Structure 1
Amino acid sequence: MELYEEFLKVTGVLNQRLSITPVLYGSLGLQRATNYKLNPEDIDILVPQVFLQERWQELQSTLASIGYQLVDENEHEFKKDSVNVGIAYIEDLKPFAGVDYSSLEITNHHGARFYMLSLTDYLKVYHQSLQDGYRRTKKNKKDQQKLELLGGRIQREDMLKELVHNWKHYCNKDSFIGIGSTRKAYRVLDYVIKVNLHPIGYQQSKAEYDIYQVMEERGLAELFAETYYVDEAISIQKYYKQVETRAGQSFEIDLEKDQSLLPPKYGEVLHLLDTVFDSFDLRDSSNYGLNADNKLIFIDYGMTKALYESEWVPLAEAGVLPQIYVEPCIVCGEEKELRMYGDDDSDKRCYECGKE
């Protein structure tokens, strides 16, 4: 039985008998939205919450009249022959994934009337699904593949608008990839959202944006992660895999021992950053990612020597900004980078054990 055709039949009955305009949801909905074959295994729809509560018996009777029997009341799942229909309520879209269901696009097809999610709506849904405990266990790989599909289908301009508008939705513990003294980083598909923890973070992000523009003009942009967007709260940059630590710590890039990691024109770029942009701490491995050829690429390149000396150091000495020390964490016992705020800070927990 063709699932989409069956969905249209079910929808037509819901339209006519209960005046329900359902949302086509799940893999079948995403397949319809992307025109990409996903081989959905069932039909997922959303209906107004009242039909899963006060009017639940009406919904059951209506579906039974066309051959669907309730097989799981907790999951609101029905079955006819080999077809399963799962039902949830539309009002959950907002609290679950930040999707405004009142603005969904309505579709009419072969006499059936239903709502469709946009690609950015599906991006929110599947991003949130990866945080859900059940789906992370059962459907992680499939959800990740759907996110990658969406990332490829959504044009960069639209994707950036979505991330800028809804960055708080995407920045959570599961997308977290790193923290510095002034910024915190989260990965969303092929993008990194850097959230400013202090105004110095904004200055760094703005410098990265400006540096990238100049390097692009000079034909050297391939050594840098592009910064697409900057405001006082966040910046958005292209994602690259981070350079792995050595013995749990970042390390200084050695121009001889680490020769295999150095991209062409690396020396020229180092010189420019040092002499033209006053860049600071250029050879610390924590400032780099790796490109597709396993060569170094700058991902954190906005701190200047002047900014460091005039603003960062005084704030760190005053305990406003953290300094990083490598010592055993008093909770997990592992030797890790500890964020210490001034000389009187005795809280030697690592970030993973709760200290920011």
Structure 2
Amino acid sequence: MSNTRKFEVLLEIAEKLNQDIGSVPVLYGSLGLSRAIEVDLQTDDIDILIEDCIFSERLSYIHGLMEELGFTLTDPEENEFRRGTTKVGIASDGDMLSFSGVDPLSLAVESSAAKFRVLSPEQYLATYKASSLDGYRKKCTQER
């Protein structure tokens, strides 16, 4: 699936989150990076971060919203969903500031069909530097 199509799916999800629970999610991961640096990277999935206060209190509701959009929860521990070949990971933005120094509330908000927040290239650099030192990221990379 092309990044353009993945971005359309992001907008579909973000619109639902905007309308139903007032969330303005963060486009994260390699699809977000691809958009930030304006290079069409080969991305595997769509990563979305949701405000911690919403994520921690309304996770089961978020699961229901994803099901309404035709997604199936495939990995409850990772909050990973699939619809056909499209894979979406959803997580909290709760540790973003302490993890990488990036304040999710300071992120730029883009608005087209839906509102979503985006990292700048510099914020991605800070995040990926922190990720390179993170035990979870190292473990996942080794398992691949």
What is the TM-score normalised by the length of structure 2? 0.89
Q: How far off is 1:129 after superposition?
A: 0.7
**In 1: Cα distance, 2:69 partner to 2:125 partner:** 33
Alignment match of 2:104 (pick from 101, 106, 117):
101
Pair 1:35-2:46 in alignment? no
Alignment match of 2:27 (pick from 24, 40, 43):
24
Q: How far off is 1:25 after superposition?
A: 0.3
More helix by share: 2
Q: Alignment partner of 1:12: what SS?
A: helix
Q: Alignment partner of 2:12: what SS?
A: helix
Q: Alignment partner of 1:54: what SS?
A: helix
Alignment match of 1:117 (pick from 116, 119, 123):
119
Pair 1:58-2:57 in alignment? no
Q: Show CA shifts across 1:195-232 (max 9, x none).
A: xxxxxxxxxxxxxxxxxxxxxxxxxxxxxxxxxxxxxx
- Asked whether the equivalents of residues 104 and 115 of structure 1 are also in contact (C-alpha less than 8 Å), the reply is yes
Counterpart position of 1:267 = none
**In 1: Cα distance, 2:87 partner to 2:24 partner:** 19
Residue identity matched to 1:30: L
Residue identity matched to 2:121: L
Residue identity matched to 1:136: K
Q: How far off is 1:27 after superposition?
A: 0.2
Q: How far off is 1:137 after superposition?
A: 4.4
- Asked whether the equivalents of residues 23 and 54 of structure 2 are also in contact (C-alpha less than 8 Å), the reply is no
Q: Show CA shifts across 1:19-75 (max 9, x none).
A: 110000000000000011211100001101233332112111111101011111111
Greater RCO structure (CA 8 Å; 6+ sep): 2
Alignment match of 2:72 (pick from 69, 74, 80):
69
RMSD: 1.5
- Asked whether the equivalents of residues 51 and 58 of structure 1 are also in contact (C-alpha less than 8 Å), the reply is no
For 1:275-354, what aligned pairs fall within 5 Å after superposition? none
**In 2: Cα distance, 1:122 partner to 1:92 partner:** 15
Q: Alignment partner of 2:136: what SS?
A: helix
Q: Alignment partner of 1:115: what SS?
A: strand
**In 2: Cα distance, 1:139 partner to 1:33 partner:** 23
The verdict on how the C-alpha distance between 1:138 and 1:61 changes in structure 2, with shifts beyond 3 A counting, is closer
**In 1: Cα distance, 2:47 partner to 2:59 partner:** 17
Q: Which runs of 5+ in 2 are unaligned?
A: none
Q: Percent identity?
A: 39
The verdict on how the C-alpha distance between 1:24 and 1:119 changes in structure 2, with shifts beyond 3 A counting, is same
- Asked whether the equivalents of residues 56 and 92 of structure 2 are also in contact (C-alpha less than 8 Å), the reply is no
Alignment match of 1:82 (pick from 77, 81, 85):
85
Counterpart position of 1:132 = 134
Determine which structure has more spread, i.e. the larger CA radius of gyration: 1
- Asked whether the equivalents of residues 51 and 59 of structure 1 are also in contact (C-alpha less than 8 Å), the reply is no
Pair 1:92-2:95 in alignment? yes
Q: Which runs of 5+ in 1 are unaligned?
A: 141-356
**In 2: Cα distance, 1:36 partner to 1:17 partner:** 32
- Asked whether the equivalents of residues 49 and 91 of structure 1 are also in contact (C-alpha less than 8 Å), the reply is yes
Q: 4+ runs of 1 displaced by more than 3 Å?
A: 137-140
